[in-house]
């Protein structure tokens, strides 16, 4: 990402292909992740009472808001899912009997309230510095366990508790899609990481070669 940008207030607008260049590895990784994770909210939205078209539209709106972070506001990091919170939110609506695919206005009142409360909590943690303190003090093993627990909860829901709902009608298609998504996601991430490592290694070699040349050894082509 170039440093050139259009400043507006405290933010920086970076227009794609003008202030940022297209990287093939990152583009492919983004396509896979967008299809595998961004649209993963559609089944959740349908379980809360949205139609398929409404759920997909909500996913697209969320994707636009996520991508606006680096493009419109100049933030190098893009927001993502709070994955460990997903089974907690689903469990809350299951306990209320609202995760049955029937549209209720109260369901989205609850969801809006949870989103606003969580936003205020994150804002307070960021402004006071408590969030940084928690991240530094909490052991990496505990943080990894929380994320792993969310993955195991999702795995149990898909393959055991809600097997008939997610896989029962089309087991071959669903399992093939899950396997393909997992393989492609890890392959593209690996390719992207290798490309970045190769680029960094080439830069280090260039710097080392330049530093090892004797003074005055560089000559202009026209000299």
The Cα 23–Cα 27 span in angstroms is 6
| CA 163 to each of CA 13, 42, 123, 169: distance values in angstroms, whole numbers, following the listed order | 45, 17, 38, 9
Which of 166, 79, 171, 88 lies closest to 119, judged by CA?
Answer: 79
Residue whose pair of structure tokens reads 């082509």 in the numeric block? 221
Q: What does 61-90 look like in DSSP terms, one character per residue?
A: HHHHHHHHHHHHS--SSPP---GGGHHHHH
Left (φ > 0), alpha (ψ -120 to 50) or beta: where does 97 sit?
Answer: left
The Cα 49–Cα 55 span in angstroms is 9
- Across the chain, which has 223 residues, the per-10-residue mean pLDDT values are 76 86 82 74 88 90 83 77 78 87 92 91 90 86 79 76 76 79 64 57 52 44 41
Check residue 187 and give its pLDDT. 64
Check residue 216 and give its pLDDT. 45
Check residue 199 and give its pLDDT. 55
DSSP structure class, residue 40: G
Check residue 107 and give its pLDDT. 92
Check residue 186 and give its pLDDT. 65
For residue 7, give the 3-state DSSP assignment. Answer: strand
Burial 101-130, CB ≥16 within 10 A → b, else e = eeeeeebeebbeeeeeeeeeeeeeeeeeee
User: pTM value?
Assistant: 0.62
């Amino acid at each position: 990402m170039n440093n050139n940008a259009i400043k507006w207030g405290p933010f920086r607008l970076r227009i794609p292909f003008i202030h940022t260049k297209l990287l093939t590895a990152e583009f492919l990784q983004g396509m896979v992740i967008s299809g595998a994770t961004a649209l993963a909210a559609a089944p959740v939205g349908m379980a809360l009472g949205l139609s398929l078209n409404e759920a997909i539209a909500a996913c697209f709106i969320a994707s636009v808001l996520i991508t606006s972070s680096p493009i419109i506001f100049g933030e190098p990091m893009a927001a993502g899912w709070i994955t460990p919170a997903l089974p907690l939110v689903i469990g809350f609506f299951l306990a209320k009997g609202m995760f049955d695919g029937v549209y209720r206005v109260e369901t989205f009142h609850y969801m809006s309230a949870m989103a606003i409360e969580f936003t205020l909590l994150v804002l307070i943690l960021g402004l006071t510095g408590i969030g940084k303190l928690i991240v530094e003090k909490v052991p990496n093993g505990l943080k990894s366990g929380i994320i792993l627990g969310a993955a195991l909860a999702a795995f149990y829901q898909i393959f055991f508790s809600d097997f008939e709902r997610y896989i029962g009608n089309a087991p071959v298609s669903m399992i093939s899609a899950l396997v393909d998504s997992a393989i492609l996601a890890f392959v593209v991430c690996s390719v992207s990481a290798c490309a970045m490592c190769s680029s960094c290694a080439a830069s280090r070699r260039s710097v080392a070669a330049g530093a090892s040349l004797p003074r005055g050894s560089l000559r202009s082509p026209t000299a």
